[in-house]
Amino acid sequence: MGFVGLNSCLFMFQANTTQVHGLDGFLRTLDRRKDPARRERGLITVSNHTCVIDDPLIWGVLPFSYQIDPNNHRFGLGAHDICFTNKVFSTFFSLGQTLPTHRIGHSPHGGLFQPTMIEAVRLMSRQPFTTPYSSATSAPPVDPSISSPDITDPFSSSNHTYTYSTDGVDTFPAPSAYENRRYSWIHIFPEGRVHQHPQKMMRYFKWGIARLILEPDVCPDIVPIWIEGNDQIMHESRQWPRFLPRVNKHCGIWFGDNVGGEGNPIFSELRRKWRELVEEDQKKEGKGFAMGVLSDGLKYGKEAVELREECTRQIRGVVLAVRRKRGLPDEDPKAGLVETWRVEGGKKEGKMEDGSWVGEV
């Protein structure tokens, strides 16, 4: 992580010009979390998504001493079909604290309730979790071939599982099984894809972020971030050599205030309602479920869906607040609605009718 962080720092500040705002406050949040044994809650950072290499570029603004501390660095979600296609890629991205995530448009194993989302919820909670989610997600024997994405943990056993499967076939390490990963930090791009809009508008947010706020045992800290300029480094319309990032660009990163924790009345109330739903569901089912595992009622029930929708709307609002503080005018309220983006039809990438560019991540 230190190697990638150092190169991101050099690229952002030497090859490009980058302004950073609010970093001191964010570093104070990280300083309070330095000792895993003393952490009281997880940390979520959430931002807009302007180019395919926003992560790791944005973490290049952290001092180097923060780059080389994996116990106090972010976990991210990476596309299974891109980042985890063989052992070399799987090892690289796993060491970079990236969780293999199936994209619903590319895999039947994708969606809000896939095993990696269970792992993410557990990372936001008090560890360790060393029991399988279910027989369906217990890791099978590891395929030793280099073409297989499987990587394992040598300490796993039948009683203590330090690995999990995303699809019932592959095998990956389960960081939530380790005590030094208790109340971890996860960064999320809730737009779910790169979005480069001429007026710097965001797409609607997907609901995965809501699971990470509602379901952990305590409400995580939440720090919103606004990113600008990275779209010029890797614009979706770029020509050959398309794989090379561009230089001499002007970038900016704005860190907002921490809006999470039990002191936030909005998220506290949403979590209270969620706990009531869980208690009602347990009475109905006659049993409880492991952390991150949900019954069908908690997955698809009307009240559960409405809670996720409202939580996601609130999270989008706190990112918009940082955008507003940066000095941009308020966007059209309709931009946050799923219905607004249905005009794209089946088009998933390229230039859209509103002039924005969209790319898969």
Q: Which of 225, 202, 206 is nearest to 46 (CA)?
A: 225
Q: Which residues pair with 21 in a beta bridge?
A: 254
pLDDT at 160: 61
Structure tokens at 222: 């939440």
Degrees to nearest 5, angle at CA 299 with 295 and 305: 145
Six-digit token pair at 241? 């050599």
Q: What confidence score (pLDDT) does residue 288 get?
A: 83
In the prediction, which pLDDT does 35 show? 95
The answer to whether 116 touches 126, Cβ cutoff 8 Å, is: no
Q: What's the predicted TM-score (pTM) here? A: 0.93
Regions of the chain with pLDDT less than 50: 135-136
CA 336 from chain center: how many Å? Answer: 19
Residues near 1 by beta carbon (within 8 Å), at least 6 away in sequence: 67, 68, 70, 73, 95, 96, 97
The three-class DSSP label of residue 216 is: coil
Residues 6+ apart with CB under 8 A from 122: 129, 176, 291, 292
pLDDT at res. 359: 82
